[in-house]
Amino acid sequence: MRFQYLLTQTVQGIRRNPLVVASAVVAVLVTLVLVFGSIVVRWSIDQDIGRWDDNVRVIAWLGDVSPDQVFAMQREIAEWPEVDEVVYFSKSQALEEFRELFADQPALIDVVQDDPSVLPQSLRIKPTEVGNYADIQNRVAVYPGVQQATAAGEEIDALVVRSNRMRTFAVGVFIVLGTAALVLIANTVRMAVYARRDEIAIMRLVGAGNWFIRVPFLLEGLVEGVTGAALAALIVGLGHKPIVQMLSTVADPDAIVVPVQFLLQQSLLVLTFGAVTGLLGSALGMWGTLRD
């Protein structure tokens, strides 16, 4: 009886003002599509960073330095706080690596093999954190015996910047559009309260409980929030691929597959946000109108 009553009231409330309700749902939808979308894109960027993460090395190319000197350098650099480990790469190891990397281009390999001096010995320095590579590079570059220090860092910098931008964007959207969605839901609820004010007056008169009066309005906001969120989750879940691929730095974008589990987890989060927005919006809409 009670449950059915509450449900009927909620449905009636939504039917009473379909356009206003639609605007609230769309506001939630747009907000959460953008937020969820940026979460997914950021995830893929972080994946890219992660791919680099393990491979980032500052390479100190060495001139003609004796093995003893190399050993001493290796030990000293390894003690720097920003350095994780230092690995020595001899000329022959370098050649080996080169052969692997350019296995499909035998002409190149021939050239290198003929003149081993092309590939000098080197120290490969792994930073404790990816972001530290530039410091290490600068320090190593002026180290005696080092001819040149290189690092594949700029790409990472760009990715880190992009990832942070994505986060800022998501937070910004969440605050600005989220507020708009909240206010729109509050508005629908307030209109519903207004439309039912006579009914509410009589409910109070005959002794209906406060929650009995409020719950249909809370449910209305909840339904609006969750509907918007569910649609947003669906849109992002089904449509994120082209955007992620466009923004990825990976050579083969088709290879990027956002795991279903991640999508489901985040969808749950999005639904929760929708629900919370709906309930808060309702509370805001009832504020001051449904006092005792």
Partner 1 sequence: MIRLQDVTKVYDGGVVAAQGVNLEIEKGEFVFLVGPSGSGKSTLIRLLLREELPTGGDLWVAGKHVNRLPAWKVPLLRRAVGTVFQDFKLLPSKTVYENVAFALEVIGRPRHVVRQQVPQVLRLVGLAAKADRLPRQLSGGEQQRVSIARAFVNRPLILFADEPTGNLDPGTSVGIMRLLDRINRTGTTVVMATHDHAIVDAMRRRVVALERGAVVRDQSRGVYEAVLPFPEGRDEEEAE
Work out whether 209 is an interface residue with partner 1 (CB under 8 A). yes
Instruction: Answer yes or no: are the C-beta atoms of 160 and 196 closer than 8 Å.
Output: no
- What binding mask, one character per residue, do residues 77-116 give for partner 1 by CB under 8 A, x or -? ----------------------------------------
Work out whether 194 is an interface residue with partner 1 (CB under 8 A). no
Q: Candidates 114, 198, 252, 254: give the one binding partner 1 (CB under 8 A).
A: 198
Closer to partner 1 by CB, 22 or 203: give it: 203
- Cα(93)–Cα(87) distance, rounded to whole angstroms? 11
Work out whether 147 is an interface residue with partner 1 (CB under 8 A). no
Q: How far is CA 109 from CA 12, 104, 112, in A?
A: 77, 9, 5
Least CB distance to partner 1 at residue 216 (A): 11
Burial readout 131-153 (b: 16 or more C-beta within 10 A, e: otherwise): ebbeebbebbeeeeebeebebeb
Work out whether 288 is an interface residue with partner 1 (CB under 8 A). no
Work out whether 3 is an interface residue with partner 1 (CB under 8 A). no
| Count of CB atoms situated within 10 Å of the CB of 288 | 8
Least CB distance to partner 1 at residue 204 (A): 7
Work out whether 212 is an interface residue with partner 1 (CB under 8 A). yes
Q: How far is CA 123 from CA 61, 128, 292, in A?
A: 7, 16, 76
Least CB distance to partner 1 at residue 292 (A): 4
- Cα(66)–Cα(148) distance, rounded to whole angstroms? 17
Work out whether 15 is an interface residue with partner 1 (CB under 8 A). no
The three-class DSSP label of residue 145 is coil
Least CB distance to partner 1 at residue 280 (A): 22
Contact residues for partner 1, defined by CB under 8 A:
1-2, 5, 198-199, 201-210, 212-213, 292
